């Protein structure tokens, strides 16, 4: 185990989150490279993309961009910043790239994707540490002029790893890069269920589907009215009930927003109004074909519904939201998450799934070296 920051960090994904993560790391003095299968949002000139930023980090950053994903094998730590609907295509393609000794971190991990990665790599006899974060490092959005608006780093990020004994090492790596904000979870189920994006986005988009369909410009948090808050609270209660069935106690949606946006806890609609007033609200989706549904329905809501069935926990509001979205979109989201079958979730029980996900069971006894960045 080492207290030194990884000397080579690579980010997979060049959307707002991947770019903002690169900027935060570079702002802290770390060397970062970026790779994306398309990199459509960035202008790359001779292997460099210039990011002009405002918000929590301001200025221009020149980020090296890999042309060949084989270059990812040179990194000590890889941060995956991909939507769930890109896991199969992108991470499946990258499986041969990962090498022994690397740490692979899935940011805002969905659908127990770290478990899938860890078990696949283990079966291929490769020694790769796989970690899942319960949320993303920050939030960000591109402005109409191409400037990247970067929000502050989150105060707390729950994380878990496989193989289990490596949790202290992986946590040290993350803290050496980004400071003392990482909390070791007892199971990979914790960061999976701690990811509030699926329920928050469902609550935000369902009352605003016609805005999306008409291509209107609307502020996500300015439109977070009491109607949205009531739906979000019901979905959050079901999420927390599923977590309790797996013996997990997780932060509420209110606590998550307070930590993520540096606010006092209060009514959800009041906190949303403060987020908007402080300029941290992105625009809501201006099209139906948006990741808030196409990613978060199959890889968030569907997976949570499956976990609820494994645990025998009723989730009527969650299922109703899925039924509504499947009707509106004319799609069967419940049939599009490959990880449900890849992980054998339909044949799992609580005991078996908890055992497979017991990521940090040795963390309490594992020695920790002091973090360099506090």
Class of domain 9-188: alpha beta
* SS3 assignment for 330-369: CCCHHHCCHHHHHCCHHHCCHHHHHHHCCCCCCCCCCCCC
Q: If we measure between CA atoms, which residue out of 244, 151, 257 comes closest to residue 204?
A: 257
pTM for the predicted model, two decimal places: 0.84
Query: Do the beta carbons of residue 300 and residue 84 sit within 8 Å?
Result: yes
Q: What is the DSSP letter of 186?
A: S
User: Helix crossing, 226-245 with 253-261: angle to 10°?
Assistant: 110
In the chain, CATH 1.10.1040.10 sits at: 194-348
Omega before 163 within 30 of 0, i.e. cis: yes
Q: If we measure between CA atoms, which residue out of 274, 267, 329, 275 comes closest to residue 298?
A: 329
What is the predicted pLDDT for the residue at 339? 95
Show pLDDT as tens, one digit a residue, over the chain (374 residues).
345 788 899 999 999 999 999 999 999 999 999 999 988 788 899 999 999 999 999 999 999 999 999 999 999 999 999 988 899 999 999 999 999 999 999 998 899 999 999 999 999 999 999 999 988 999 898 998 999 999 999 888 989 998 866 778 889 999 999 999 998 887 899 989 988 999 999 999 999 999 999 999 999 999 999 999 999 999 999 999 999 999 999 999 999 999 888 899 999 999 999 999 999 899 999 999 999 999 999 999 999 999 999 999 999 999 999 999 999 999 999 999 999 999 999 899 999 999 999 854 433 333 333 322 22
Q: Round to whole Å and give the CA distance between 37 and 85.
A: 14
CATH code for the domain defined by 194-348: 1.10.1040.10
In the chain, CATH 3.40.50.720 sits at: 9-188
Q: Round to whole Å and give the CA distance between 22 and 19.
A: 5
Q: If we measure between CA atoms, which residue out of 128, 12, 120 comes closest to residue 338?
A: 120
What is the predicted pLDDT for the residue at 85? 87
Q: What is the pLDDT of residues 276-301, one digit of tens each?
A: 999 989 999 999 999 999 999 999 99
Strand partners, 60: 52
């Amino acid at each position: 185990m080492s207290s030194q920051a990884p000397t080579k960090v690579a980010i997979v994904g060049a959307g707002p989150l991947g770019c903002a993560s690169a900027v935060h790391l570079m702002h802290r003095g770390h060397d970062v490279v970026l790779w994306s299968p398309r990199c459509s949002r960035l202008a790359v000139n001779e292997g460099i993309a210039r990011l002009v930023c405002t918000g929590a980090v301001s200025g221009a950053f020149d980020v090296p961009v890999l042309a060949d994903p084989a270059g990812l094998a040179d990194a000590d730590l890889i941060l995956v910043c991909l939507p769930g609907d890109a896991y199969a295509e992108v991470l499946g393609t990258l499986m041969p790239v990962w090498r022994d000794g690397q740490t692979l971190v899935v940011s805002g991990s969905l659908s127990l994707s770290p478990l899938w990665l860890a078990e696949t790599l283990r079966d291929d006899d490769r020694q790769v540490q796989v970690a899942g974060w319960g949320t993303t490092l920050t939030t960000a959005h591109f402005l109409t002029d191409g400037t990247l608006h970067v929000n502050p780093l989150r105060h707390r990020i729950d994380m878990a790893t496989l193989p289990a004994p490596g949790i202290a090492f992986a946590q040290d790596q993350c803290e050496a890069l980004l400071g003392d904000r990482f909390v070791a979870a007892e199971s990979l189920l914790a960061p999976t269920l701690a990811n509030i994006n699926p329920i928050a986005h469902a609550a935000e988009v369902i009352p605003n589907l016609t805005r999306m369909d008409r291509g209107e410009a609307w502020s996500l948090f300015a439109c977070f009215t009491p109607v949205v808050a009531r739906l979000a609270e019901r979905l959050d209660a079901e999420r927390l009930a599923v977590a309790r069935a797996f013996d997990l106690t997780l932060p509420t949606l209110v606590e998550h927003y307070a930590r993520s946006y540096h606010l006092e806890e209060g009514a959800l609609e009041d906190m949303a109004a403060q987020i908007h007033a402080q300029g941290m609200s992105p625009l809501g989706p201006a099209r139906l074909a948006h990741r808030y549904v196409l990613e978060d329905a199959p890889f968030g809501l569907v997976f949570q519904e499956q976990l609820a069935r494994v645990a025998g926990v009723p989730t009527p509001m969650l299922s109703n939201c899925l039924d509504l979205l499947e009707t509106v979109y004319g799609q069967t989201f419940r049939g599009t998450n490959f990880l449900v079958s890849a992980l054998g979730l339909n044949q799992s029980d609580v005991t078996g799934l908890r055992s497979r996900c017991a990521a940090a069971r040795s963390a309490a006894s594992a020695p920790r070296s002091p973090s360099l960045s506090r």
